[in-house]
Chains A and B, each alone.
Chain A
Amino acid sequence: MFETFTILTLQQYWWIIISILASLLVFLMFVQGGQTLIYTLGKTDTERSMIVNTLGRKWELTFTTLVTFGGAFFASFPLFYSTSFGGAYWVWMAILFAFIIQAISYEYRSKPNNFLGKRTYETFLFINGALATILIGTAVGTFFNGSMFSMDKLNLTNIYDSAISRWETPFHGLEAVLNPHNVALGLAVFFLARVLGILYIVNSVKDENIFNRGVKQMYYNAIPFLVFFLYFVIALLFKDGFAYSPGTGEVFMEPLKYLHNFLQMPVVLLIFLAGVVLVLTGIALFLFKKSNKGIWYTGPGTVLAVLALFLIAGLNNTAFYPSTFNLQHSLTIENSSSSHYTLTAMSYVSLFVPVVIAYIYWAWKSINNKPIEATELNDDQTHVY
């Protein structure tokens, strides 16, 4: 089946898969958002333990999605992996550090004799929650604003200096934070993760005090989220974008490129609008109807909105990883992808994804059908973080 597709179709198919993984990842970062709220929403030890435990049952899902996102990006668009990770070194390293300290914090936090102490592990969770969301958001911002890198495969033939991609500023990625548009996306992701975190926690923990504190916190986080998000989207729609000519691959600046992408791909625009409406609906239900079901709206809404943003970054002849150092070195889905053979093979593997989603749903349903209560944490039949 996939063998018969053109290379361009496969490249688009894989860009869509990457976008779906990215959007699921942003949704699942409710774990990170929640981690920054352990002390804000939980005032007693038991309350905090309930929050940590409800987040702790999902952290692996987020983590695994991140790992799969990385692997899938590598397999489908290896030139991005090569250029961005080796170039924007400090940003990616900071993200990695934020994730090393997460994995163990849940498992070790409440274990006796844990060397660093409970408080340290909770601080690790906070750092992970804040740093990972802001940095990943900022890094994705460079998809729309470009980075200072050069890329020339011919360097491979210079045996003494063979690096094909080079970062053309000494800051190696840190310069991304100097662009307010990148940072706005980073902060929007951070506050969105907190919004999602609140909605997830009130849905999965049965505790009135936590719920009431959640309402108050929602105002503190939903409003900044909206401010940064609106700024990011409006600036995006009116800015010049990185377009390329389909025949020659030549990259050029096109005024209102991202707005054009929405208009030329109305389905994507609809996805985006539906996403935004759902995100707001979930928040409103929680704030004004005191419903704990908000996550079921804001979560899928996040997936749709992020999906749409990724689609306009890479489809419709748009360079998804632009170089502001030399426009012609920008990465597009056409010049950075794997070969037809590899994309075909990987496309067959991608058919497993629905199976994976099905068993995740089934397994979780079988163990997690009721919210956490304080009494459950004292039940010695269960594993407690």
Chain B
Amino acid sequence: MDSITLIASVSMITAASSTCLGCVIPALAEGRAIVTGLTAIAQQPDAAATITRALFVGLAMIESIAIYCFVVSMILIFANPFWTYFASKAQGG
């Protein structure tokens, strides 16, 4: 297998598995966070505003981990430096 095929296939597989893992694991973590937040609201309804705000801040931090994986996938698909280097060499050489 020559290097350009290897780079293309590895990039595709890595991009897909990066988004896949980056969606599954933060989703489980956010589920656990929401369960705890809902339990707390049920036990103390008048603190609901504080709990809701802290819940949203925590969810945004977990979400950002998923976004890191998505950004890496996007870079591998659309702005891949190895691909552009080898593609220009294959065209020029």
Verify that A and B bind, or say they do not: no
**Chain B residues with a Cβ under 8 A of chain A:** none
Binding site for B on A (CB under 8 A): none
